[in-house]
């Protein structure tokens, strides 16, 4: 039977750190727009995301990725054999073709614009940045959603590092302070990062809530959103 990603990471960890205690692993395939792999160590928990483009990769390629990521997080040198195996695989014709296709599909969000018919998200972000944050918040790309979803007012899309705001708010009947409030809320998420759960990071701790109260039209905006 084929070992799971989880088993591959545990085995590779043992090779790299024979005597250290085994951390908790959360390892998953993730739909990045690219052959992208990320790893993070926090509170002795490892969270790794492997591009789902590599889902069908042979075991030794997955081992190579595990080795490279774990070496990176524990500041160990990457073995040349692993590095070249991974490079060769990503450069193979098959994977290049798949990557190209997926990038076209998933990357299409980048073609969208922060400028809607009524509101320009990036302009609103920049104004709020000056008004509330001394211009200190780094602005990720922003875009109006493709569909007119009511399920999510706005969210952060880590695969594209983009803030997506539902297009229903790009409308003359929506007051500017409502769009400002939605963007302000997302800015607070940038300032108070939390662990990602899937693509959501909607956790509102006490500091977050205190800072949210500094938005003057908070209650009016919330009342508007409740009436939607
Ligand atoms: Zn939130």
Cα(125) to centroid of ligand 1, in Å? Answer: 16
Cα(201) to centroid of ligand 1, in Å? Answer: 7
Cα(28) to centroid of ligand 1, in Å? Answer: 24
Cα(156) to centroid of ligand 1, in Å? Answer: 10
Residue 150 sits at the vertex; the CA angle it makes with 144 and 154, to the nearest 5 degrees, is 45
Sheet with 37-42: strands ordered across = 24-30, 45-51, 37-42
Burial class from Cβ neighbours inside 10 Å (0-12, 13-18, 19+) for residue 115 reads middle
Q: How confident is the model at residue 147 (pLDDT cuts 50, 70, 90)?
A: confident
- CA–CA distance, 73 with 9 (Å, rounded to integer): 13
Average of per-residue pLDDT across 59-65 = 94
Percent of the chain with pLDDT over 90: 50
CA atoms within 13 A on the CB side of 118: 14
Cα(189) to centroid of ligand 1, in Å? Answer: 7
- Predicted model pTM: 0.52
| Residue 125, pLDDT above cutoff 70 | yes
Cα(198) to centroid of ligand 1, in Å? Answer: 14
Q: Residue 45 region, left (φ>0) first, then alpha (ψ -120 to 50), else beta?
A: beta
Cα(185) to centroid of ligand 1, in Å? Answer: 6
Cα(121) to centroid of ligand 1, in Å? Answer: 17
Cα(131) to centroid of ligand 1, in Å? Answer: 20
| Residue 199, pLDDT above cutoff 70 | no
Kindly report, residue by residue over 10-58, the tens digit of the pLDDT. Answer: 999 999 999 999 999 999 988 777 778 889 999 889 999 998 888 888 9
- CA–CA distance, 158 with 182 (Å, rounded to integer): 18
Stated length of the chain: 228
Do 51 and 33 touch, CB atoms closer than 8 A? no
């Amino acid at each position: 039977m084929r070992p799971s990603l989880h088993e591959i990471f545990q085995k590779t960890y043992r090779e790299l750190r024979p005597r250290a205690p085994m951390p908790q692993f959360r390892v998953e395939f993730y739909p990045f727009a690219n052959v992208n792999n990320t790893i993070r160590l926090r509170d002795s928990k490892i969270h790794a995301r492997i591009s789902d483009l590599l889902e069908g990769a042979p075991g030794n390629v997955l081992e190579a990725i595990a080795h490279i990521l774990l070496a990176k997080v524990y500041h160990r040198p990457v073995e040349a054999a692993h590095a070249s195996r991974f490079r060769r695989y990503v450069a193979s014709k098959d994977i290049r073709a798949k990557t190209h296709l997926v990038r076209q599909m998933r990357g299409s969000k980048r073609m969208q614009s922060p400028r809607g018919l009524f509101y320009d998200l990036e302009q609103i972000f920049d104004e709020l940045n000056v008004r509330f944050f001394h211009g200190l918040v780094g602005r990720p790309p922003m875009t109006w959603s493709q569909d007119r979803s009511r399920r999510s007012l706005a969210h952060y899309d880590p695969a594209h590092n983009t803030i997506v705001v539902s297009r229903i708010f790009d409308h003359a009947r929506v007051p500017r302070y409502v769009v400002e409030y939605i963007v302000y809320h997302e800015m607070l998420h940038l300032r108070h990062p939390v662990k990602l759960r899937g693509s959501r990071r909607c956790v509102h701790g006490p500091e977050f809530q205190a800072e949210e109260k500094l938005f003057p039209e908070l209650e009016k905006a919330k009342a508007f959103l409740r009436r939607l």
